[in-house]
Structure 1
Amino acid sequence: MSAATAAETTRTPFDPQSAAIVVVTFNRSTLLAGLLRSIRDMQPQPGHVVIIDNASVDDTTEVVESFRETLGTTLVYRKLETNTGGSGGFSEGMRTAYELGAEWIWLMDDDVEVVADGLARMGHWAPRFKSIQGRRYDFDGSPFYWQYRVAERMGIPIPFAPAGFDASGFKPMNSGCFEGMFIHRSIVARIGLPDPRFFIYWDDQVYGWLASRQTMSVIVDEFVLRRTREIRQWDMGIRHLNASSNAYRYYIMRNRAFIKHYYRHHGVYSPVLFGLGTTMTFIKELIRLLFVERTVRGTSNLWRGLRDGRRIARDSSWQPMPPLE
C-alpha cells in the first residue's frame, strides 16, 4: 500500500451529527422560514441548528419556535439585544456552535436554502480539508460566481479568477464567504472568532484569509445552496455586480482600516499596494452606483468611510481577535 493510500484510509469519516449550521437573520422571517424548511427536509441533518437573531422586530421569534418540534435536530435560538450586523451575528453564532462542541460549523445567511443532500456533499470533502466553500445557485437558478481568490497585498478579490474546475473537483482559495463557509473547529480555535468590529463587509474575506494561513482552504465543485432573494445587478458575463446601499458603501471603505491592521499584524502590509487596492475599491463602488443603481448619490458615504477608517488605522491599541485555544 502506498503512503498516499495509507493516509487516505486513516482519514476520519464525516459524522453529520458533528456539524452545526449557523444562521444569522434580521427582520426577514419569511426568508428564514424557507431556509428552515429546507433544513428540515435535508438528509442527513446536522447535530445543531443555531439561529442568531440580530434584534429583529418582526415575527422572527414565532417563526423559529414553530420549527422547534419538527426540525428533526437540536435548535438553539439566540436573540441579541442590539443589531450587531452580520459580523457580530456570525461571531456570536460561531462562538455558540464552538461551545456546543461542534466539530464542523456551516455558516449561512437567511436568504438561502440548502439542497436536500447539501450536508452530505460538504461532508464528502471533510476528511481531506478543514476550510471548505461550496457553490450556490443564484436566484434565477444560474451558477453564482464567487470571487474565491484575493490579491493579498492589495486586499481585494480577484474578479476574474478561473471559474471552471478540473477533475480534482476543488480549487485552492485564500478568501471566505459566510454564505456557505464550512470550517473545522480546530481552525476556529487557532484564528479565533469572526471580528464583530467589521459590522458588515470584508469580515468573511479576512476570516477566510486567516483560515488559509492555517490550512489548505478550498472551494469545491458542489452546489449546496440556493439564493432565495433577488438582488438588482449588472451582468458582466463571468460575474455580476450587485446593487448596494449607503450603509454598505460606508463600511466597504471604513473597514479597509481593519484589513490594514490584520495585514500589519501578520507582516504582509504593503502601503503602496494596499493603497492601490483601496483606490480600486472606491472606483468599483462608483461604477456600482452608476451602472447598477443608476445614480450618483451615495458618494458621501464612501468619503465618510475613508475618513473614519483613517482614525481606526491610527489606533495603536488595536489587537486582532484572540485564538480560542
Structure 2
Amino acid sequence: METIAAVVVTFNRLADLQKCLDSLRQQSRPLDAFYVINNGSTDGTTEWLATQTDLQVTNQPNLGGAGGFATGIDTAYRGGHTWLWCMDDDCLAAPDALAQLLAAPHLGPCIKNSMSVSASNHEELAFFVQRPHKTYRLVSDMTDVELVYDVASFFNGTLIHSEVVKAIGIPDKALFIWGDEVEYMTRAQKMGFPVVTVPSSVFYHPAAFDRNGIPWPGAWKQYYAVRNQRRVLQNQFGNTVGRFVFAAWAAKATLQQALAKRANRLYNTLLYSEAMLDGLTNNFRKRPETIQTLRFYKWRNG
C-alpha cells in the first residue's frame, strides 16, 4: 500500500505554518504522516510544535531551506513512505491538491508538482517561468494541458517518489538557500526521472518578490542564487563545460549589475562578483554572516 508523507520546513513563521498544516490536514486524500523541520525558530514555533501530537518534529539550527529539506526528505524516506510531499511553511494547498497529483497520469517514479498560484492574485502564477519557446506567467498559460513537462516550482507542493530519492539522494545542505531546489530538480532530470507540473493541483504561495530586484539589505540572498547556479550548470553540462558556462553567465550578470541604474549598484556588483568567485572556486561554505559584501554593507550603513 502506498503511503504519503508531508515534509514541511519552517523558520519563524508560526502563523503561516499553522495555516499550511491546517490545509494539509484537510486534504480529501488524507496524508499518512507529517514531518516538520523547524530551522531554529525563535518566535514560539518550537513551543507550539511540541503540543501537536500528529506531527513528527525535528528541531535543528537554521540550515536554510536546503538543510531543512535535506533533513526532511531523508527522515521521511527512512520512514518508508512511497511519496514525499514537500513544501515551505507559507504554502496553502487546495483541498484536493494531493488527490489531483495522484490522479494525474502515471509516470512511474517521478516528481509531480502542484501549480503554484499567487496568493494575492489567483489569475497569476506565484513564480514566472521562462522557457525557450514558452513563458508561463498566468494560470491560464498552464491550464490548457494535463501536464507541463520540465517545469516545477520546488519546494511548493512537490511530490517526490521514494525511488527518486533512492537514486539521487537528498538536497545539498551546502547550498543553503536559493538555487538548491533547482539543483535538486536538474539532478533528477539528469537521472532520467520525469518532472512535471500538474495544473489541476493548486497550491497558493506569495508571489516571488525578486521579480524587479530586491532592495538592500535583503538582496544579500541573491548571493546564493548566483553562486549556486554553478551546481545547476554542472548538472546540465558536466564539471568542466559547466564551469565555463557558469563563468560566462555570471560575468554577464555581474556586468548587468554594474551598468544598472539602481541605488545600490555598488553592493549588487560586489555581491555578484563575490558569488561568481566563490562559485568558480567551489567555495560553498559561506553563511550569511560570512558574506563579505553583506559585512561591508553593514559596516557602511550601521
What TM-score, normalized by structure 2, do the two folds share?
0.78
Give 1:168 shift: 4.3
Q: Among residues 174, 191, 204, which one is paired with 1:226 in the alignment?
A: 204
What fraction of aligned residue pairs are identical, expressed as a percent?
23
Q: Does 1:189 align with 2:169?
A: no
What is the letter of the counterpart of residue 96 of structure 2?
D
Equivalent-residue separation in structure 1 for 2:200 and 2:267 (angstroms): 37
Q: 2:273 aligns to what?
A: 303
Q: 2:295 aligns to what?
A: none
Q: 1:274 aligns to what?
A: 246
Q: Greater helix share, 1 or 2? A: 2
Residue pair 1:24, 1:51 contacting (<8 A) in 2 also: yes
What is the letter of the counterpart of residue 56 of structure 2?
V
Unaligned runs of 5+ in 2: 286-302
SS of 1:201's partner is: coil
SS of 1:298's partner is: helix
Give 1:279 shift: 3.6
Q: 1:260 to 1:127 in 2, by over 3 A?
A: closer
Give 1:270 shift: 4.7
Q: Among residues 144, 158, 169, which one is paired with 2:125 in the alignment?
A: 144
Equivalent-residue separation in structure 2 for 1:88 and 1:314 (angstroms): 13
Give 1:194 shift: 0.8
What is the letter of the counterpart of residue 93 of structure 1?
G
Equivalent-residue separation in structure 1 for 2:147 and 2:240 (angstroms): 26
Give 1:231 shift: 6.0
What is the letter of the counterpart of residue 160 of structure 1?
T
Equivalent-residue separation in structure 2 for 1:101 and 1:288 (angstroms): 50
Q: Among residues 153, 160, 182, which one is paired with 2:135 in the alignment?
A: 160
Q: Among residues 212, 215, 228, which one is paired with 2:193 in the alignment?
A: 215
Q: 1:166 to 1:222 in 2, by over 3 A?
A: closer
Equivalent-residue separation in structure 2 for 1:38 and 1:122 (angstroms): 15
Equivalent-residue separation in structure 2 for 1:119 and 1:242 (angstroms): 33
Counting only pairs closer than 5 Å after superposition, residues 1-325 of structure 1 correspond to structure 2 as 18-68=3-53, 74-80=54-60, 82-125=61-104, 127-129=106-108, 130-142=110-122, 143-144=124-125, 146=127, 160=135, 164-165=141-142, 168-173=145-150, 177-213=154-190, 214-227=192-205, 229=206, 232=209, 240-241=211-212, 243=214, 245-263=218-236, 266=238, 269-270=241-242, 272-282=244-254, 290=262, 295-296=264-265, 298-299=267-268, 300-312=270-282
Give 1:252 shift: 1.9
**RMSD over aligned Cα atoms:** 3.3
Offset from partner CA, 1:37-57 (integer Å, 9 cap, x none): 212222222111110011111
Give 1:183 shift: 1.0
Residue pair 2:278, 2:284 contacting (<8 A) in 1 also: no
Q: 1:22 to 1:246 in 2, by over 3 A?
A: same
Residue pair 2:152, 2:196 contacting (<8 A) in 1 also: no
Equivalent-residue separation in structure 2 for 1:42 and 1:268 (angstroms): 46
The number of aligned residues is: 277
Q: 1:133 to 1:175 in 2, by over 3 A?
A: closer
SS of 1:43's partner is: coil
Equivalent-residue separation in structure 1 for 2:13 and 2:168 (angstroms): 30
Equivalent-residue separation in structure 1 for 2:74 and 2:107 (angstroms): 24
SS of 2:69's partner is: helix
Equivalent-residue separation in structure 1 for 2:157 and 2:259 (angstroms): 27
What is the letter of the counterpart of residue 267 of structure 2?
G
